[in-house]
Every structure is written in structure tokens, then in C-alpha cells.
Structure 1
Amino acid sequence: MRCAIYFIPPADDPLQIAAAQWLRRDPYTGARVSWPVEGLVETDHAFLTAVPRRFGFHGTLKAPFRLSPDYEIGELQSALDRFCRRIPSVTIPAMRIVPIQNAFALVPEVPLPELNDLAADFVTAFDIYRSPMTDLDLARGDIGRFNGQQFDNLRNWGHPNVFDQFRFHMTLTGPIDEMERDHVALVLRRHFGDLANAPLHIGQVALFVEPEPNAPFFVHSCHQFTPQRRRKIA
């Protein structure tokens, strides 16, 4: 079994609903979502979203990992619940849709240090629940494309893009041919509308689970952060 700790908006959040319509799958229920997308035929849209559909709409905080045989999923769930109760929520002032490594994703309009710190906290706090990388894992990781820091991250923390290599993003497509990029960008912005540029409140994470290799990830449990208290004004 593989697990991951992802940010995901609540099930009734308009952004989450729009993302489930775009990716054609609701990670909360696993249900297929049928929704017409203007500007793409069904086969092209299905191909374009195949990779992010399997993982579900999310922002990675701790990337997928094999659960250590020393722990049960319930122990990880309980630890995550306790951890999240101590964390204040974070609000990203604005998001935007941009290309990242030949794919499109939602990213913060400007870097947010507290969001990077939050991801680093999850990476370190929950690494005890991760089975260590094996030589076979490393061989499958296409390590030739990593710099030295990324390789060390992969070996030590299970993923190359952690700490100073981390960039928060919520993937919307698989790789796109350069000739199609402008058209897909237009279709995405039309589908998401103002939601793509609105503030994004990060007040929870979800424990995602992949029950068997190559199966879709789904939400196993949600864990709320501590609500921010209003400051008293004299």
C-alpha cells in the first residue's frame, strides 16, 4: 500500500468541484464525473488528464510512499490528526494556471515561505512511516534528470523535490505538445474562470491511499488544521 499526504479543498469547495469535473474523477468518492469541456473532444481530454486523474486534484505535502511494515494505516491516520491540530491554516492570496515541465498546474502567484515551511514539516514529521528507498526504487526514478541535491532528497526523503527544491502546485494535465499549449491554456482558463485566480485557503490535509499498484488514489481521511484566531483590536 502506498500513502500520500496532500492538500485538497473540501468536497463542497467550488474549486474542488471544478477540478473533479476537469479531471473526470472525485477523489473523495472515487466516482467518475461526467462534464462537457468546451474546446476539447472527449478522447483528447481523457488523454490530457489521464495522469493527474489517477492521483486526484491535490497539492503535494508528502509525496506517495510505501507504508512501513512497522505501522498500520490507522496509526498514521491518528498521528496525522494529532499533528494537524497544532497547525494554523495558511491562505495563498492568489493562484494562477501556468505550465510546469510541459504540463499545466495551479500555483501560487508569488512564493509563500510559510507554505514551503509547512511542506517541509510534513516531510520530516512523517518520514518514520515511510519504507526506505530500495536500489530498485532508485533505478526506477529516472535519476539522470536530477541534480545532486534532488538525488540526495530522493534517497533520504523519498522524493527529489523537497525543502529548497519544493514548489507547491496542483497538477491539471499531463505533458502537452508545445503546439497545443496555448489552446489548452485557453480551455483551462475558460473552465476554471475566476477560481483559477482566487485566494486558496489551506485549512486541511487528506491522507490519500493507493490500495494496489497503479490503482487510483483516493481520500482515506481528512484532517483539519487549527482555526486561526482573530486578533483582538484595542
Structure 2
Amino acid sequence: MSGRTTWDLSTARFAIYYAPPEAGRWWEEGSRWLGRDAITGRFLDAPKVPGLSCTVHDATVDARRYGWHGTLKAPMRLAPGARLGDLREVALAVAARHGPFTLAMRPGVLPAGSGQRSDFAGFVALCPGAGATPVNVLAEDCVRAFETLRAPLTDAETAKRRAQSLSSRQGEYLAAWGYPFVFDEFRFHMTLSDRVGTSDAAAIVDWWQPRVQTLGPMCVDSLAIFVEPAPGAPFVLHERFALGGRA
């Protein structure tokens, strides 16, 4: 947990993420892959991957800044008058409404979207197979419950999102919820790369496939507040909240 509790609330962003238990192998493996531990802030040596045209470090520049996580409520600035204590209260309430569950994760490629070069596959991520309903329910609760604490998007933030060529429904969600990929447009995932070419994507998937089998189901037993202390700064895990209200 981050020891810092004060930030410039006009610029800091807060996100509600899932992060694997810090003492477990899922946390260690994912943090090592990205090259940074979002709890300690320590930089790590990423593995070497056969068939990858660049280093893992170069393939994970953006992903590393966000840390090893799965998004439940996308990064947001706090609304005027809202405080970190308000965020904690909502997190405690949401966590108490949901029990722990497991997800069978598998690596795959998520689409790059329109406007990308034809030789770019998209980005690689771990996604759940069957049995994703509990995490979808948890994410929907997070999207709704934290909404009163979210500051409106700036014009620049909105323009950046709309540059992704959103569908009409995604555009409506962006306007209403500050993020286009919610509810029926949501797909839980844990990012393994930035946008990469098709051959690099295949190399990453091949590297992760046997490892997810060895690691086994991912235990979702908490949600966490992550903080971006200043624009462009690495996100850090500030505090966890156990599902089911466990201590």
C-alpha cells in the first residue's frame, strides 16, 4: 500500500482496479513482465521472449505506467469537493457487496481499432474464458457507485477518446460515464503489451500460454485504489479492499 495520502486533487487521477494478491505468483509474474511493481515502485528485469522483435520492456511502455491490473472503474479526477475519504467509503461499500471468485485467464489479442496499420494486431492481454459474470457484475457496480465522485472529462480528454473512432453506443457511454467501454461494451482484461505487430503478438501469446496453465485460476479477492499522482506519472497501488468485507 502506498504510504502517501495527499495529492493535488486537481490533477491526480484515481482508478479502481483489480490487482492480484501481492504475495502471490500472479502478482509477481505480471509485475515482472511489465518491469515494475506498482506497490513498491521498484523496477524489475522483464523476461526475454523468443520470437519477439523488441524487448519486453519496449513492448510495454504504456502498460508499465499503469501497472499490473484489470480495470473496474477507469482513471478519473475527483469531482470538486470530493476527497480521498469519500473514495474509500464507496470502495468499502462496493467490496462488501461482492464475494471472492476465481477467473480462468488466457492470453489473446484485443483489436487495435480503426486507423491502425494493417500489420498491427492490437494489444495482447489476459482475458477470462467462461465464467466472467462475477467480474462483469463487480465492474458494473464500480462504474455506477463511484460515478458521483468523478469530475467531468475535459474537452481534451473527450477529444482523445473520440479519436478512437467509437461506436455510437460507446460515444454515449463516454458522455454519460466518462469511459466508452462500460456495461455491455466492457471486457475485463489485464494488459500485457502496447500495440504490437502480428508476429510480436503471437510471440507474447505463446510465451504466456503455458504460464497461465501453471499459475492456475486467478483469485479475485479484493479491489484496489490506484493513484496517478501527477499527469504522466506511474500509477501506484494505494489501498486494497477485501471482497466480502473481510479484514
Q: TM-score, normalised by structure 1?
A: 0.88
Q: Which residue of the partner structure matches residue 207 of structure 1?
A: 225
Quick check: 2:51–2:200 contact (8 Å CA) kept in 1?
A: no
Could you say which residue in structure 2 is the equivalent of 1:109? 129
Is 1:81 aligned with 2:92?
A: yes
Deviations 1:49-82 (A, max 9, x none): 1111000111110001111121111221233123
Distance 2:149 2:214 in 1: 35
For 1:161, what is the secondary structure of its paired residue?
A: coil
Aligned 1:138-217 pairs, distance under 5 A: 138-143=158-163, 145-189=165-209, 192-195=211-214, 198-217=216-235
* Residue equivalent to 2:30: 19
CA contact (8 A) 1:15 1:195 kept: no
Query: How far did residue 42 of structure 1 move?
Result: 10
**Equivalent of 1:99, from 104, 109, 112?**
109
CA RMSD between the two structures:
2.1
Q: Residue in 1 aligned with 2:6?
A: none
Instruction: Kindly state the Cα deviation for residue 35 of structure 1 after the two structures are TM-superposed.
Output: 4.4
**Contact 1:22–1:37, Cα closer than 8 Å, also in 2:** no
CA contact (8 A) 1:106 1:171 kept: yes
**Structure 1: gaps (5+ residues):** 229-234
Partner of 2:18: 7
CA distance in structure 2 between the aligned counterparts of 1:45 and 1:112, rounded to whole angstroms: 28
2:213 alignment partner AA: D
When residues 50 and 148 of structure 1 are mapped into structure 2, their CA distance, relative to the original with a 3 A threshold, is same
Residues 66/183 of structure 1: CA separation in 2 closer, same or farther (3 Å cut): same
Per-residue CA shift, 1:193-222, capped at 9, x if unaligned?
Answer: 5246x2122110110000000100000110
1:39–1:146 distance in 2 versus 1, CA, 3 Å? same
Asked if 1 retains the 8 angstrom alpha-carbon contact of 2:15 and 2:73, the reply is yes
2:110 corresponds to which letter in structure 1?
A: I
Q: Secondary structure at the match of 1:141?
A: helix
SS at match of 2:108: strand
State the identity %: 33
Tell me, which stretches of 5 or more residues in structure 2 are unaligned? 1-11, 112-121
Deviation at 1:112, TM superposition (A): 2.1
**1:5 partner SS:** strand
